[in-house]
Structure 1
Amino acid sequence: MNKSIAIINSKAPLNGAHAKESLDLALILGSFEQAPSLFFIGDGVWQLTEQNIAMTGAKDFLKTMQALSFYDIENIYVCEHSLYQRNLPNNFALDDVTVLNRTALQNQLAKFTSVLKF
């Protein structure tokens, strides 16, 4: 049985180390040909937006996120409702992001054998 892994990103990028830890895990899994699918919900949708975080002293991990396709991590989903709640457009720092309504997102998550939430 193949294990499929979903990583849920639910925290804003500057809310602790959650975003970076999630990205590090995804890249590690990808390097071992265990490419996870990434989900962005709640405040996690902010991780996909262009932000000027240089002024905070935090490392801009959006450049690292652009390496996801190199690791065959191609399934990236974002919650439409979370975007709507934060008045964010469907304009992301990454290509090939799929926007899903809540029902479709839940149905997609139900397909995975392991779900990790950050």
Structure 2
Amino acid sequence: MSKSLLIISRQAPWSGPGAREALDIALAGGAFDLPIGLLFLDDGVFQLAAGQQPGAVQQKDLGANLQALPLFGVEALYASARSLSERGLDDAQLQLAVQRLDDGALTSLLDRYDQVITL
């Protein structure tokens, strides 16, 4: 039986390699039918913002990777409600549907997964 994996993505899209690595791990695990969840926390919620212009910082757009997650079976997508609120993001500004979790629900989420990776 496959162990479940929760990936916590805490970096803004272009602040370093962490955001892309988190998405790559999620897509690879999904390709192998692993039970995967992806949590956007802290500045990681900026990955969800629509209308980004990665060319301005000479980077590739992560939007295509985000849109591919459900195609690879990664459908358990979560975001910290506090992180979204602190950064002024609401559902209309997000390019991907995620389940908003309050702090108590985040603790419960961590308990549901066998392994947790934070990037």
TM-score by length of 2: 0.93
Aligned to 2:96: 94
Provide, for residues 2-58 of structure 1, a one-character-per-residue CA deviation record: whole Å limited to 9, x for no partner. Answer: 411000011111111111111111111111111410001100100111111221110
Provide, for residues 61-116 of structure 1, a one-character-per-residue CA deviation record: whole Å limited to 9, x for no partner. Answer: 11121011111100000000011111211231113x10111111111111111000
Aligned to 1:47: 47
Unmatched runs of 5 consecutive residues or more in structure 1? none
> Which segments of structure 1 move beyond 3 Å, counting only runs of 4 or more?
none
Secondary structure of 1:58's aligned partner: coil
Instruction: State the aligned residue count.
Output: 117
> Matched residues, percent identical?
36
Structural RMSD (CA): 1.1
Secondary structure of 2:105's aligned partner: helix
Unmatched runs of 5 consecutive residues or more in structure 2? none
Aligned to 2:4: 4
Q: Distance in 2 between matches of 1:82 and 1:24?
A: 22
The structure with more helix, counted as a fraction of residues: 2
Q: Distance in 1 between matches of 2:81 and 2:65?
A: 24
Aligned to 2:83: 82
1:1-118 residue pairs with structure 2 within 5 A? Answer: 2-50=2-50, 51-91=52-92, 92-95=94-97, 97-118=98-119
Does structure 2 conserve the Cα–Cα contact (< 8 Å) formed by 1:35 and 1:71? no
Letter in 2 for 1:70: L
Letter in 1 for 2:95: A
